[in-house]
Amino acid sequence: MKSSHPISYNFIMKTVGIIGARNIGASIAFFLAEQRITKTILYDSSDGIAQGKSLDLMEAAPIRHFDTMVSNTQSLDTLLKTDIICIALEAPSATPASEFTTLLPQLKELAQFLKHYTGIVLIASRANEACTTVFSKLSDLNSDHVIGVGTLVDSMRIKNNIAQELGIVAEDVQAPVFGMQGSNAIIFPSYISVSGIPLPELISASKIQNIIKEVQEMNNNLLMLSKDRGVYYAQAAAAVEIIEAIIYNENRVLCSCTVGNFHIPDIALSTTQVINAKGIHTKMQSTLEHKKLSDIENTANQIRTIIGTVS
């Protein structure tokens, strides 16, 4: 497959370090290799996983025409020179809270280790808003440089479901999702549009509500189907969308989370943000905050509950 992106010949290829080489991390490396846009270094705290996955990927290169390298390292120090670090730790479990609790010790260590990192950190783990909040706080990095994939994955899912309902291509659909990933995602029908046409002009209100509910429950349903082995393609694709926006300095308007959105200083909440090579360029929250601030406050409290008292 050829990349659809125009790559100029003086383009200096950026390096992405991926911490966590299980399903999410390896899928990110896979999508990046297929797009041929970065050098990728995989790291995993369990010996052998990063080595095995990177070698497997590179052995596909002659057939899939990657001209980019997916390598591995057993030392986190190697990753300090990268342009982007993507944290893709995972511990599939039934609830975001239990997943977060399992990941917390590693997350704390990484936050300490990356305190002076000069690139952009992208959090792709599940329990995303909680992980992003804690990492951002403990690493003390500039909050514009710590981005969580947040509700981008829910936004992709809703686009897909609406496209299927209407029998059209998903790229015609725009659907921002606010707050946090999963069952508590905040979705406003009036903010979903198809080629600019507000969705309520195309689908009945009850059908829209069904689609929203389905998307909110999607993660739980997929987890159940996978027998709790985890769901990861959409999560990885969302991370790659953000990595591309950073690498190409695109000023893309993407749902994602960073600390400080909606003027809530202690929690990373998802909203539409403009992302470029500098990380978060601007927020694009529009008048949402006046409309549904109570929903947002509730979501912030839910994330506070998941996090508990981390110091």
Partner 1 sequence: MKRQKVVIVGAGNVGATAAYFIAKENIADVLLLDVVEGLPQSKGLDFSHTGSFHGYDIHIRGTNDFKEIKDADIIVHTAGIARKPGMDRMDLLKINVGIVTDVSHAIRQYAPNALVVVVANPLDIIALACLQETGFPSSRVFGMAGVLDSTRLRYFIAEELNVLPDDVFSMVLGGHGDTMVPLPRYTTVAGIPLTELLSDKKIKELSLRTQKGGAEIVNYLKTGSAYYAPAASTAKMVITLLHGQRTIIPVSVFLNGEYGQKGIFLGLPVILGPKGIEKTIELSLNKEELSALQHSAEEVQKGIEELKILRSSSI
Query: Between 64 and 81, whose beta carbon lies closer to partner 1?
Result: 64
Which residues lie closer than 8 Å to 88 by C-beta, 6 or more apart? 18, 19, 20, 21, 22, 24, 25, 28, 124, 125, 236, 239
Query: Between 69 and 166, whose beta carbon lies closer to partner 1?
Result: 166
Q: Is 252 in the site for partner 1 (CB under 8 A)?
A: yes
Q: Least distance to partner 1 from the beta carbon of 183, Å?
A: 21
* Binding residue (CB under 8 A) for partner 1 from 11, 55, 56, 198: 198
Range 70-109, binding partner 1 (CB under 8 A): none
Q: Is 251 in the site for partner 1 (CB under 8 A)?
A: yes
Query: Between 195 and 209, whose beta carbon lies closer to partner 1?
Result: 195
d(CA 230, CA 220): 10
Range 134-173, binding partner 1 (CB under 8 A): 166-169, 172
Secondary structure, 3-state, the chain: CCCCCCCCCCCCCEEEEEECCCHHHHHHHHHHHHHCCEEEEEECCCCCHHHHHHHHHHHHHHHHCCCCCEEEECCHHHHHHCCEEEECCCCCCCCHHHHHHHHHHHHHHHHHHCCCCCCEEEECCCCHHHHHHHHHHHHCCCHHHEEECCCHHHHHHHHHHHHHHHCCCHHHEECCCEECCHHHCECCHHHCEECCEEHHHCCCHHHHHHHHHHHHHHHHHHHHHCCCCCCCHHHHHHHHHHHHHHHCCCCEEEEEEEECHHHCCCCEEEEEEEEECCEEEEECCCCHHHHCHHHHHHHHHHHHHHHCCCC
146: Cα within 13 Å, side-chain hemisphere: 30
* Binding residue (CB under 8 A) for partner 1 from 80, 202, 203, 237: 202
Q: Least distance to partner 1 from the beta carbon of 191, Å?
A: 5
Query: Between 29 and 187, whose beta carbon lies closer to partner 1?
Result: 187
Q: Least distance to partner 1 from the beta carbon of 63, Å?
A: 15
Query: Between 172 and 297, whose beta carbon lies closer to partner 1?
Result: 172
Query: Between 76 and 203, whose beta carbon lies closer to partner 1?
Result: 203
Query: Between 174 and 302, whose beta carbon lies closer to partner 1?
Result: 174
Q: Least distance to partner 1 from the beta carbon of 35, Å?
A: 16
Q: Which stretch binds partner 1 (CB under 8 A): 76-84, 97-105, 281-289, 297-305?
A: 281-289
Query: Between 23 and 193, whose beta carbon lies closer to partner 1?
Result: 193
Q: Is 195 in the site for partner 1 (CB under 8 A)?
A: yes
Q: Is 7 in the site for partner 1 (CB under 8 A)?
A: no
d(CA 135, CA 115): 10
# binding residues, partner 1 (CB under 8 A): 34
Q: Least distance to partner 1 from the beta carbon of 255, Å?
A: 8
Q: Least distance to partner 1 from the beta carbon of 300, Å?
A: 21
Residues making contact with partner 1 (CB under 8 A) = 2, 166-169, 172, 174-176, 191-198, 201-202, 245, 250-255, 272, 274, 281-282, 284, 286-288
